[in-house]
A and B are shown apart, each in its own frame.
Chain A
Amino acid sequence: MKCDRALPCIEAFADGELSVWRRMAIRRHLATCAACAARFLEARSLQARIRAEAPRFAAPESLRAKVMAMPGGSPAPAARYAPVHRWQWVAVGAMLGCAITVVTWFAGNAALDRRENTDIASAAVAAHVRATLAKQLIQVASSDQHTVKPWLSSRLDYSPPVRDFAAEGFPLVGARIEDLDGHPVATLVYRYREHNVDVFVRPEWLRAGAAEPRTLRGFHVLRAEGQGMDWLVVTDAGGEAIAPLLQRLAEGDATR
């Protein structure tokens, strides 16, 4: 999708008014186009400001009392509405049809989200395995976040938070760029004892569906959101041992 087709849809996307297909297409486009992504963030922030700052006025009690005291409406002539009953079963049928459509729609949506989710997890595991086998785990070797962060920022259209957690037992050893699902993604490499830990960091709007931990081909895949990013951790170390790292990554400086 090009910008000229994406731009008119960005507000509808922010309003949650697009079909699942259009939504996916826009999501893809936002991941690759900084200008449209900025438009999207701008739309979201205006929305948030309107909702936070423009008051929603509540009806005063005096008005409520006046309205309650109004005399009743005129009774409708019964004959005019009698024929409606004959068609009620049609309405019920139509409603049932609608309900089925809606359920199918949501089920399909959930299935798509789930597939996208599994796809991204297996893509991450595949990237981890590929890099390990080829001994190309690290493209920039440094434990200094002020070296790693600019290296990543200069190669991506977003700038992921980078921090060293040596004190907690997770020293930062470097980073590389991986291609996940057609998008370049920042990959931070940490060590935990003898294990390598890959952390894939993507802007949040690429994320879809729930973040449940899973094991693929013997690797643990954990996932969290925080600091406007989607964090995906792949490692052969035990999932529970890695959980504190994921938590620290996602929460940022909040607890410092």
Chain B
Amino acid sequence: MSGHSRFEGEVLPHLDAAYNLARWLTRNPQDAEDVVQDACVRALRYVESLRSGEARAWFLTIVRNAFYDWVSRNRPGEVLSDSEDALDGAVDFAAVDPEQNAVRRSDARVLADALAALPLQFREAIVLRELEELSYREIASVVGVPVGTIMSRLARGRAMLRLTPSLQAVHDVVETRRRS
């Protein structure tokens, strides 16, 4: 099978997954397209190294790498440090598009905005888990860290989401029940 037909047969079916990841990481449709296009060029080049049955995680790994290359060129401030402590509580609400901010009062947008505002490490873990429904092991292989690290990033990302105002009410109820 030639490289291109393998790419079409095994990789292209995951284009939506690739775009979704890029869209959540870049938070912008045009940038997401650029990242996915770059990822496709790489995927075509390395398609021979793809083992069958792993195309989705393999392609998402490439998309993620393409994104980190793109972000270090275009928004070098965004990936501050590898130290997770530096990211503690650093929910980047300012990063949400101000125009979006003005109209987002509808309840359904609140959570999507909160997810978009999470620091990268937590955002990518939650998008891969909840929207792409990857297992912990697959996420760990896409991100290139141990499973335990993914678990703690998921837990902390979710804890940050629970602090979203409309979710706070639910959390308060749980806390009250826990104390009683």
Contact = CB atoms under 8 A, between A and B. Distances in A.
A47 B177 contact: no
B15 A67 contact: yes
Contacts of A86: none
A38 B162 CA distance: 14
B114 to A, nearest CB: 9
For chain A, the bracket of interface size reads 35 or more
Given A17-B135, A56-B20, A67-B37, A11 B174 contact: no
For chain B, the bracket of interface size reads 35 or more
Contacts of B48: 73, 76, 81
Contacts of A39: 174, 178
Interface in B17-62: 18-20, 23-24, 29, 32-33, 36-37, 40-41, 44-45, 47-48
A43 interface: yes
Main secondary structure of the interface of A (DSSP, over half): helix
A63 B37 contact: yes
Interface string B120-138: 0000001101110001100
Contact of B111 (A53, A72, A81): A53
B12 interface: yes
B15 A70 contact: no
B154 A11 contact: yes
B126 A50 contact: yes
Nearest to B126: A50
What 5 pairs across the A-B complex have the smallest Cβ distances?
A: A73-B3, A72-B4, A59-B19, A73-B44, A76-B48
Interface of A: 11-12, 15, 17, 34-35, 38-39, 41-43, 45-47, 49-51, 53-60, 62-64, 66-68, 70, 72-76, 81
